[in-house]
A and B are shown apart, each in its own frame.
Chain A
């Protein structure tokens, strides 16, 4: 199993008020599985994704990533795991404005030890895999939204992580650009990577193998859109 989550709880304290964000979330995701997470604002989606991405620690419950338990890991170990095992894709792309597409893609290499001199080559390959070879030396400001998100995906892929975590990756894109992003995700699934994706868009969720719906910190069994059953045609990447 790529992801094993059991009874995950998390609450935030603001002054004297304690907000329970996750109230015992359990699920599993296999290698090569595409999981969509849906739910209203404040349902705990982002908190769940942060915990899955080792950016935040749960208060209770168990989380195993690729068989490893990070509950007692120190900050350095978490950083290394984020660098090697996880690729992040954000709604706002989070590219460095002053760096070229290629430099942005190479950013994670700055934080891994065994980077060889082939870094630039790998970055070029990653850009090529999202169809942006010709844009390598452009600044983010010179790229369209869809292209920027593809740069961000190339950045997430540079260290060949097994898990991709995407927080509304198509939320800021038009339909066409969104479709291109989803096509790339399908290809990644075919390559055997696991994707967990947060979305509000049932169309996007319908591309996933499975949809988890969060409501008030709990996973509810069925979703209104019936996602997870009806999969979009041509999405059968995971044979």
Chain B
């Protein structure tokens, strides 16, 4: 019995608060509007930042965080004079083999070339990117066969004219028809389509990784591009922790192989995948911190709104407070009633804000090009946090209400 009394009081007081708030719908709506807008905006912002975060994470998954990309870079100056002709030509396929044997940290190395190319099939053509790489390169690039097969080492060794189409290219040239077994022309050279790769998606930079065709490296070098050098080397380390040491190691090996003397600019660029993604992730973290700041601001504005309306409510209901005191309400009963009302206002505002925010984020995700992720955490924290906010800020008007002397309150007109 003893235990049920406070609970019953609590429930009655809760019901009373709800009734009182429901009796003043306009005032209730006004007092929660600030919080509502804040929470809704917050939900949308969190959805945006989580969307960005997810894209980065997906890219990390698809590209791996343990890759180094070495690209042949034009040396900006030679002997103090700017050079007109970019030297892309320093890296050879053999350097890949060299790194693979000399490096202690690299577990796989793949050379690759890339060149814009027009691909034709039937009466259609599409401008896309030609990539030539080895079977190892297919693995490091996370390229898998969606239909048909991937090329193998024999295809590469024999310089066979076989090609893998990215899903975008397949769609552009063949629409719904399965292109496996068909012939496409890279430039003027006919190639047999042996497979279509699985979709990789578009990265945040807007690059469609499915808009490419992939051929064996030697085929690309000898039959299509007719060049002796490669553009990039993909190097995989055992784990992303080793990546920075691997980078040093690869630099040293390449400097030795390319006879780069100390003090000379390196004719290649080493891109550390982990560092790139870390930077990008840092940006999305910064965005998240910004969101947190906005949350604090929304809470502040919402809280002020609730306090203002509650203070008005206390003033308006001074006589009612006096009456309740005369009828036996203790100061703490009055205080509890106003704190509870304030908490309910917070919860109502927070819940409405979450509903509107989720609806807005959902609509934006459907109608617009944005990638939004509505997660359960802010959707749950919105109402709870807002209720707590209401509880905390409600203390001020509640204390004022509880301080009123009953005779003074009753006398108020």
Q: How far is the CB of A23 from chain B (nearest CB, A)?
A: 19
Asked if B410 contacts A112 (CB within 8 A), the reply is no
Asked if B410 contacts A79 (CB within 8 A), the reply is no
Asked if A79 contacts B5 (CB within 8 A), the reply is no
In residues 1-26 of chain B, which contact A (Cβ within 8 Å)? 5, 8-9, 12-13, 16, 19-20, 23
Verify if A170 is at the interface (C-beta below 8 Å from B).
no
Cα separation A159 to B12 with both chains bound (whole Å)? 17
Q: How far is the CB of A226 from chain B (nearest CB, A)?
A: 32
Of the stretches A93-101, A125-133, A174-182, A190-198, the one at the interface is: A93-101
Asked if B328 contacts A108 (CB within 8 A), the reply is yes
Indicate whether A50 sits within 8 Å of B327 (C-beta atoms), given known contacts A94-B319, A113-B5.
no
Cα separation A110 to B23 with both chains bound (whole Å)? 19
Indicate whether A155 sits within 8 Å of B327 (C-beta atoms), given known contacts A94-B319, A98-B20, A99-B19.
yes
Verify if B329 is at the interface (C-beta below 8 Å from A).
yes
Asked if B410 contacts A111 (CB within 8 A), the reply is no
Contact with B along A60-97 (1 / 0, CB 8 A): 00000000000000011001101110001010001010
Asked if A80 contacts B328 (CB within 8 A), the reply is yes
Q: How far is the CB of A17 from chain B (nearest CB, A)?
A: 18
Verify if A53 is at the interface (C-beta below 8 Å from B).
yes
Q: What residue of chain A has the Cβ atom nearest to residue B8's Cβ?
A: A115
Verify if A56 is at the interface (C-beta below 8 Å from B).
yes
Asked if A55 contacts B324 (CB within 8 A), the reply is no
Most chain B CB within 10 A, of A84, A88, A110, A113, is at A110
Q: What residue of chain A has the Cβ atom nearest to residue B12's Cβ?
A: A110
Pick the contact of B328: A90, A96, A111, A114 (CB < 8 A): A111
User: What is the total number of residues of chain B having a CB less than 8 Å from a CB of chain A?
Assistant: 25
Cα separation A112 to B332 with both chains bound (whole Å)? 13
Verify if B330 is at the interface (C-beta below 8 Å from A).
yes
Cα separation A107 to B327 with both chains bound (whole Å)? 8
Contact with A along B299-332 (1 / 0, CB 8 A): 0000000000000000000011001111111111
User: What residues of A have a CB within 8 angstroms of the CB of B407 in the complex?
Assistant: 50, 55-56
Asked if A98 contacts B327 (CB within 8 A), the reply is no
Cα separation A56 to B410 with both chains bound (whole Å)? 12
Asked if A55 contacts B406 (CB within 8 A), the reply is yes
Q: What residue of chain B has the Cβ atom nearest to residue A84's Cβ?
A: B328
Asked if A79 contacts B329 (CB within 8 A), the reply is yes
6 contacts between A and B (CB under 8 A): A75-B331, A99-B19, A110-B333, A111-B324, A111-B333, A115-B8
Supply 17 further A-B pairs (C-beta < 8 A) apart from A55-B325, A98-B19.
A55-B407, A55-B410, A79-B330, A80-B328, A94-B319, A96-B320, A99-B19, A107-B323, A108-B327, A108-B328, A110-B9, A110-B12, A111-B328, A111-B330, A113-B9, A115-B8, A159-B328
